[in-house]
Chains A and B, each alone.
Chain A
Amino acid sequence: MIKLTHIIKQCSVGNESAYRALVEFMSPMLMTTACRYISFDDAKDVLQDSYINLFKALQKTKLEAGKEALYMHRIVINNCLKRIKKKKLDFNLSENHSTQITADPIIFDRLASESIIELIHKLPKACRLCFQLYEIDGYSHKEIGEKLNISDSTSRAHLSRAKKLLQHELIVSYQKEKIKLERI
């Protein structure tokens, strides 16, 4: 974190090599965030745009120490959402859903990042968006509604459906693992 703070400081002064260092340091992490929302090829394009926006912003504003990474992730997410908006996702819920079932957060702690990402990608697009924005990226339902042009309740509904589906997937994958182990 100290290293990132130092690089950001140099970038705000306009140090060209600091820009390069920042790109090399943060690109793997930011790429993960971008790939959660859009395809890999689109994610590269979005990442480049995000860096240009970031370099401009660093000239004008001073970032809070310790929150630089969060700020950068937010920039990437905003650019991803801009790209997604162009595709006009359907946020209408077709099935009846229940708001009672929630996925246990402890489960995610035990899972590896790759598994979590894999699970999330299995969700429908609209549900995946709402789940990621709420559970991972820390947006409120109101903010999600503003960003995706949907109502709060729609956001909540998609979130609960996402959790239900995740739970179902977790159970299925757990049972498959169990069968594998039994065979061994």
Chain B
Amino acid sequence: MNHKLQDKLYSHSTNVNTEEIWNGIQKKKKKRLLIPLLLLGAFLILLTIYIISSTSVTKSSFVAKNTNVNSTATSLIKDSEYTQNSNEGNQYTSKEKDAIHSSKFINQKAYKSQTKQSFSSSKIPLPASRKASIGKTTNSNSVYLHDNSNKNTLVEADPLKSEVVENVFQKAAINDKLPKSESIELHSEKSSFPSIKNRNIINIQKIETATLYPNIDLFNYKLKTDFILPLKNRNDHNLTINIGTLTQQNILTNDTESLLGINTSLIYSRRYKNKWAFGIGINYTQYREHFVTVYNYTQGNEILATTTEIYNQNGTVELINSLITVEDKFERSISKVNEKHRLDISLHSEYRLFTWRNFSTLLIGQFNYNLLLWNNGLENKENFQGPYDINIDKLNTINKDNNLTYQYGLQLSYSLSERLLIGFKAQRYRSLNSFYIDQDLKYKGYIGGLLLTQTW
């Protein structure tokens, strides 16, 4: 390396606009910050889309299933077998049964409307399994039966001319698990019609296989054909965390003003019979009061003051002093926030009023038993007694008998996914006993809060 050459060239200056360089640096710095922010924004947008689409996918998949089952159920129900006094029973194959049982949600209304339709003039196609049990068929829409007199002769029958017996449905008990359908044989009246080829009257006993669908409680399972209320928040176990603001109705003393407090709880509850839920948990409440007062007092002092001046003729002045009382006026003020904390064990209950799509409204009630209570603010009595003339005990929650409080109200929840709910609740709260020793004053007010529930 040539050091002299290096020094020469390293110290050589080229004309350059430093302002331009500096501005370029600032622009590049901003660009470098922008890219990660854009990536973060894109990620949040994708996450939101995923959360929203995961709920809608559930619906559409249910709808698709439902549609398939309806059409399968309908075709199976329309289908009927004709046999010669046969009690073989044209049961549905296992595959067909599975098609019915696999669906969790069935449109009862749609089903009912379909069964009321009269059979159309078109011939009824038979499934392949049935065709094999009957005999030869020349085309998929024709049925060939054995003649009574000559079993080797196949005659074509027109099942449409027969009378259709209306299916009978039986009610089934509703339980949390999906009810299973049953297949029964309904023996219809014997009908007769002439055959085409040899004009012999063939007596046919039509055996229909009907599927019994239980009476579905629409409230619990399905509302419309295009929307299926999934089993969201129908799970048994719930864990709810709630945080809310507390407002007080009390005016404790003339010097006290109530402030907003906090109410938060963690509750585990279990669902019973779909509408009811009972649980237990921990509740924390903080009441806040602003205490402000001014105390005016006077203090008297004796001082020696010149009360009389005597001017003598000889030019002397006599001063006469005497004790006089002087009153000084004082003003003292205090402004303090007193916090009262309560940690309770809670018993919780809720009743589901009604549900619409993913929203549900509940009546909630909670009973709290105090475990621990403490105060912040006016705990040092000595600082506040004396000239203030206030009773600290009156302001503090010294009453240990005051253990019980209760809350009741309404909750509105929204299902974000199958296992997650968010909601808002508005409650009234009251204490069973007075919060004060010598005064009958019960705490009361309102709580408004947000909640998050995880179910499993």
Contact = CB atoms under 8 A, between A and B. Distances in A.
A32 B22 contact: no
A138 B1 contact: yes
Interface stretch (A23-31, A58-66, A171-179): A23-31
Contact of B9 (A48, A51, A113): A113
Interface string B4-18: 111011111111101
Contacts of A114: 12
B22 A23 contact: yes
A139 to B, nearest CB: 8
Contact of B10 (A73, A117, A135): A73
A116 B18 contact: no
A109 B15 CA distance: 23
Nearest to B12: A113
Interface in A82-137: 105, 108-109, 113-114, 116-117, 134-137
Contacts of A109: 4-5, 8
B13 A105 contact: no
Interface string B29-65: 1001000000000000000000000000000000000
A113 B6 contact: no
Interface string A35-54: 11000000011011101100
B386 interface: no
Contacts of B4: 105, 108-109
Contact of A31 (B11, B14, B29): B14
A32 B12 contact: yes
B13 A108 contact: no
A23 B10 contact: no
Given A44-B21, A48-B21, A105 B5 contact: yes
B21 A116 contact: no
A27 B9 contact: no
Given A44-B16, A108-B4, A27 B10 contact: no
A38 to B, nearest CB: 13
Chain A interface mostly = helix
Nearest to B23: A48
Contacts of A116: 5, 8-9
B20 interface: yes
A52 B8 CA distance: 26
A102 to B, nearest CB: 11
B24 A137 contact: no
A23 B21 contact: yes
Contacts of A155: none
B1 A35 contact: no
A137 B6 contact: yes
A100 to B, nearest CB: 19
B1 A136 contact: yes
A49 B28 contact: yes
Interface size class on chain B is 20 to 34
B13 A29 contact: yes
Interface in B347-395: none
Contacts of B2: 105, 108, 135-136
B25 interface: yes
Interface residues of A, number: 33
Nearest to B13: A28
Contacts of A36: 9
A28, A36, A116, most chain B CB atoms within 10 A: A28
B10 A138 contact: no
B5 A108 contact: yes
A47 B23 CA distance: 12
Contacts of B9: 32-33, 36, 113, 116-117, 136
A113 B18 contact: no
B6 A24 contact: no
Contact of B6 (A35, A44, A138): A138
A157 interface: no
B25 A48 contact: yes
A90 B299 CA distance: 102
Given A23-B18, A28-B15, A48-B25, 14 more contacts: A20-B22, A23-B22, A28-B13, A31-B13, A48-B21, A48-B24, A48-B28, A52-B29, A73-B10, A108-B4, A108-B8, A109-B8, A134-B1, A136-B5
23 contacts: A23-B25, A24-B22, A27-B16, A28-B16, A29-B11, A32-B9, A32-B13, A36-B9, A44-B16, A44-B21, A44-B24, A47-B21, A48-B24, A73-B10, A105-B2, A108-B5, A113-B8, A113-B12, A116-B8, A116-B9, A135-B1, A136-B6, A137-B6
Interface of B: 1-2, 4-6, 8-16, 18, 20-22, 24-25, 28-29, 32
Interface of A: 20, 23-24, 27-29, 31-33, 35-36, 44-45, 47-49, 51-52, 69-70, 73, 105, 108-109, 113-114, 116-117, 134-138
Give the 7 A-B residue pairs with the shortest CB-CB distance, closest first.
A28-B13, A113-B12, A138-B1, A31-B14, A48-B24, A31-B16, A32-B14
